[in-house]
Structures are given as C-alpha cells and as structure tokens.
Amino acid sequence: MTLRLHDLDLRGFASDNYAGIHPEVLDAITAANQGHQIAYGEDVYTARLQQVFAEHFGDQAQVFPVFNGTGANVVGLQSMLPRWGAVVCTSTAHIHTDEAGAPERVGGIKLLTVDAPDGKLTPELIDQQAWGWGDEHRAQPLVVSITQTTELGTAYTVDEVRAIADHVHSLGMKLHMDGARISNAAATLGLPLRAFTTDAGVDVLSFGGTKNGLLYGEAIVVLNPSASEGLHYLRKLNMQLSSKMRFVSAQLIALLTDDLYLRSAQHANAMAARLRGALEAGIADGSIQGVGFSQETQANGVFATLPAGVADRLREHFRFYDWDASRNEVRWMCSFDTSEQDIDDFVAALTRELATA
C-alpha cells in the first residue's frame, strides 16, 4: 500500500505550518507511544511539562496544553475576562482577522481594534480604545492582546513589551500575548523566553508549537496566576481538552529540550534573512526590478510588493499567499525545514518571472 500521497519536491513559502514534524518531535511522540497513561492530562508527560515551563517562565507559571493556536487564544482570553470584558488588539491581529470570529462567537469577547502599520501596539495606540470604564453602554476594555512575533513579521523589543505592560497595568487592565511564533521572537531578540514575557509583565501567553515543528499542539501559559481563572474548566467547555494529552505534552517537552525551539526558529529566521538579502542584492545590482518591501524582516517572514501578475505566475511553482491583493503585497514565510536551496530556487524563479513581467 502506498502511504505517501504527496510530492516531496513541492516546496513553498505559504506558512510555517506547511512544514512537517521535526524529527526530534516525532521521536518524542514515538517514545511516549508505549503502554498506558492516564488520560486528560493526568499523565507523567504533562506533569513533566509543568516543570519544563516553570524552568523557562518561572516557578509561578502554569501550563495548559491545547490543540491549536485559536483555541489557546480564545480560551486564554476567556480566563482573563468577565462576560462584559473587551480586548484591545491591532486590526491585523490573528484573533481579529483569522479566527473566524471565534473570540466573539465562541468566547463572547468583544474586540476593540486599532490600526498599527507595523503590527505593533504602543501605549498611545492602546489609548485609542482604552477608555469608557464604568459606562454601561461600552464593552469594558480589560485586556490588551499583542502578538509576538507579529502578524506582519515584526518583533516587539523587551522595552516595548514592558512599556505596554506597565501602561496596561496602570489602567487596571491585563496583558495577553499571542505567541504563535514566540520562538522566532526569542531567536531574533537573542533572549530567553521569560525576558520578554514573564519578566516584561505579560500575564497570559499563548505558546506556539505547531509553526515550529510540532505535529500539532500549543499551550496556554498563565504567567500571573491572579490574572486568569477557570482554565481547569474552560478548556473542556471549549473543546480544547485533549484526552490523549501525553502526546501534546511530549511534543512541547521536546521543543523546549536542548533548545530545539531556538535552533528551529533561528534557522527559519536565517532563511527569511537569506531571502531578503538575496532580493536586496538583486535590486542593488539591477537584476531584480519592481520588488519592494512593505515590512522589516525581523523574524521568519518577508512581506513584499510585486508587479501585477507576477505572484500568480510564481505560484504555479511555489505556494504563498497574497497579504493585501489590492496593492500586490505578498507574504513569504520560512520554516524550520526551509533549505538554502529552496531560497535560491525561489529567488531564481522570481528573477525569471520579473524579467518577463
């Protein structure tokens, strides 16, 4: 029987979750796949995971493995809010644009959005929506959610996160971080995970795994226990309680062991830098014309603008998404298994398409 149905030569830059499972993660799943363990998180892997997260984020950290990033965000945010609470976020935040309304429809959470050209909130931008407490007509802004690295491939510095946390807390609000790509942030900042989370004042974190080599699995991490309640019940209520949790936990342990999270993210970031560097070199020597960059490349994504029609022709060979089709803006994401050859092939194909544009 043929088990493999796909073409191994098909490579792309659509998303970091197009990549498969990192071999070290697959080994961890295999190692956990022996004998019986208690279901629903009462297993030894989930107990060990709690220790691992405490080592990375501090002794007070509590970890709740879930299936996916949308689930981590929706359940984590619910645990931070009363029924009348609202969340301030950017208009490009994944919770706003790419979760099918789950925060609103499943979580019952009003989102209050702010435009942020580079995907990053600031205290000043937060103030555009952080007002109206006590007004019974206004959904109460009680949480701010930032994404690290952002949906636009940029990264908050420690000082930027701390300034936001201080501001948010001074307003009596709490700070949530969507860390679907938190490893890429650690890699670009060159800092331990806790430096720009726990130590910078983040209260609750969605810790990403899937985009960095897991089969599937993310975690809600409570960094400030007084900022969250009810997760013991909310996970099941929101269909995010895995019965075979040992396999999610084993993967997350592998990710946080021997710096796998960092090695993989450093590689993905380096491949994005290679792509950006090659394109900039081509622009400088005139071999590439018509390409512009719409964001800084600070992690594993490159955001670019192309002459009309080029993206569609290139997509016949490499998958990637339009980001804003109205201005021919595209997004190219690199993953832990993007190779230098992938980048070089892609740059060569783009150069050929531009020459015929």
Ligand X SMILES: Cc1ncc(COP(=O)(O)O)c(C=O)c1O
Nearer to ligand X, 104 or 345 (CB): 104
Nearer to ligand X, 140 or 338 (CB): 338
CB atoms within 10 A of CB 138: 14
CB of 136 to ligand X, least distance (A): 32
The tokens 């929101």 sit on which residue? 238
Nearer to ligand X, 151 or 329 (CB): 151
342 neighbors 332 (Cβ within 8 angstroms): no
Give dist(CA 25, CA 343) in Å, integer: 25
Nearer to ligand X, 94 or 246 (CB): 94
Query: Which window, 3-11, 64-72, 158-166, 257-265, contacts ligand X (CB under 6 A)?
Result: 64-72
Nearer to ligand X, 174 or 176 (CB): 176
CB of 327 to ligand X, least distance (A): 21
Q: Give the residue among 213, 208, 242, 232 at the shortest CA–CA distance from 45.
A: 242
Query: Which window, 67-75, 191-199, 226-234, 248-256, contacts ligand X (CB under 6 A)?
Result: 67-75
Q: Give the residue among 129, 119, 126 at the shortest CA–CA distance from 97.
A: 119
Count of residues interacting with ligand X (CB under 6 A):
9
Q: Is 123 exposed, middle or buried (0-12, 13-18, 19+ CB in 10 A)?
A: middle
Among 180, 200, 304, 347, binds ligand X (CB under 6 A): 180
**Element at 219 (helix H, strand E):** strand 218-222
Among 12, 69, 85, 119, binds ligand X (CB under 6 A): 69
Nearer to ligand X, 288 or 302 (CB): 302
Give dist(CA 209, CA 162) in Å, integer: 24
295-334: contacts with ligand X (CB under 6 A): none
Q: In what order do the strands lie in the sheet with 301-305?
A: 292-293, 301-305, 329-333, 321-324
Residue closest to ligand X when measured from CB atoms: 69
For the chain, the C-alpha Rg in angstroms (whole number) is 21
3-state secondary structure at position 54: helix
Question: By CB under 6 A, is residue 154 in contact with ligand X?
Answer: no
Q: What's the CA angle centered on 185, arms 183 and 191, to 5 degrees?
A: 90
CB of 94 to ligand X, least distance (A): 4
The tokens 């493995």 sit on which residue? 65
CB of 344 to ligand X, least distance (A): 26
Among 11, 66, 151, 173, binds ligand X (CB under 6 A): 151
Query: Which window, 3-11, 63-71, 128-136, 189-197, contacts ligand X (CB under 6 A)?
Result: 63-71
Among 46, 62, 145, 147, binds ligand X (CB under 6 A): 147
Among 46, 62, 68, 198, binds ligand X (CB under 6 A): 68
Among 43, 160, 178, 203, binds ligand X (CB under 6 A): 178
Q: Is 277 exposed, middle or buried (0-12, 13-18, 19+ CB in 10 A)?
A: middle
Nearer to ligand X, 147 or 300 (CB): 147
Give dist(CA 287, CA 79) in Å, integer: 53
Nearer to ligand X, 68 or 188 (CB): 68
CB of 220 to ligand X, least distance (A): 12
Among 94, 167, 176, 331, binds ligand X (CB under 6 A): 94
233-292: contacts with ligand X (CB under 6 A): none
Q: Residues 201-220 vs ligand X: string with x where CB under 6 A? A: ---------x----------
Q: How far is CA 255 from CA 29, 71, 74, 207, 216, in A?
A: 12, 20, 23, 11, 12
Lookup: tokens for 125: 């931008």
- Residues within the interface to ligand X (CB under 6 A): 68-70, 94, 147, 151, 178, 180, 210
